[in-house]
Amino acid sequence: MIRIRHADETPHEASEINVTPFIDVMLVLLVIFMVTAPLTTVNVPVDLPSSSEKPTPRPDDPVFLTVKADHGLALGEDTVAPDGLASALAAATKGNKDQRIFLRADKTVDYGTLMGVMDKLRAAGYLKVALVNLQGQEEGSAAGLTPGGTP
């Protein structure tokens, strides 16, 4: 018997894309990104005490750095020039760079000035900085304002 071959019976090349390996790779990447995303958050090395919590015990000899309303700096009770901050801190901490510096700022001081002072502290090698606030007082109550904002 003779068999006649028709044109539609010839084997065709597969022209479809196999997406199964693509999906496998995408699922692996998704798992990797889900695991590594929480690890990429930025942690600023600053201890910020909350005003509603009990204050931390005060050290025996704290070092207070104050940013005044006129953007001047004071270390303890003494006024310090911004250029002499590193040497004044070294004298106040007796060269101990691990001692915590308590940073206080007037309410009128802008964020950029405060960050500039923190950059100077970091450049001097003092990485333990605590921001000081008034404990037990809400915003506005220190200025004599009611919650509605009227005096």
Of 143 and 135, the structure prediction assigns the larger pLDDT to 135
Residue 7: per-residue pLDDT: 59
Residue 5 included in any domain: no
Residue 8 included in any domain: no
Residue 111 included in any domain: yes
Query: pLDDT digits over 84-119, tens only?
Result: 888 899 888 888 888 888 898 887 888 888 899 999
Residue 27 included in any domain: no
Q: How many domains does the chain have?
A: 1
Residue 4 included in any domain: no
Q: What percent of the chain has pLDDT over 70?
A: 66
Answer yes or no: is pLDDT of 81 > 70.
Answer: yes
Residue 55: per-residue pLDDT: 61
The model's confidence at residue 26, banded by pLDDT at 50, 70 and 90, is: very high
103 with 130: CB under 8 angstroms? Answer: yes
CATH number of the domain that residue 59 is part of: 3.30.420.270
Residue type, 116: G
**CA pair distance 44, 129, nearest whole angstrom:** 10
**Verdict on whether the full-model pTM lies above 0.75:** no
Residue 17: per-residue pLDDT: 80
Residue 91 included in any domain: yes
Using CB atoms within 10 A of its CB, is residue 113 exposed (0-12), middle (13-18) or buried (19+)?
Answer: middle
Domain that holds residue 105: 46-131
Residue 151: per-residue pLDDT: 39
Residue 51: per-residue pLDDT: 60
Residue 73 included in any domain: yes
Instruction: Tell me the average pLDDT across 41-64.
Output: 61
**CA pair distance 62, 60, nearest whole angstrom:** 6
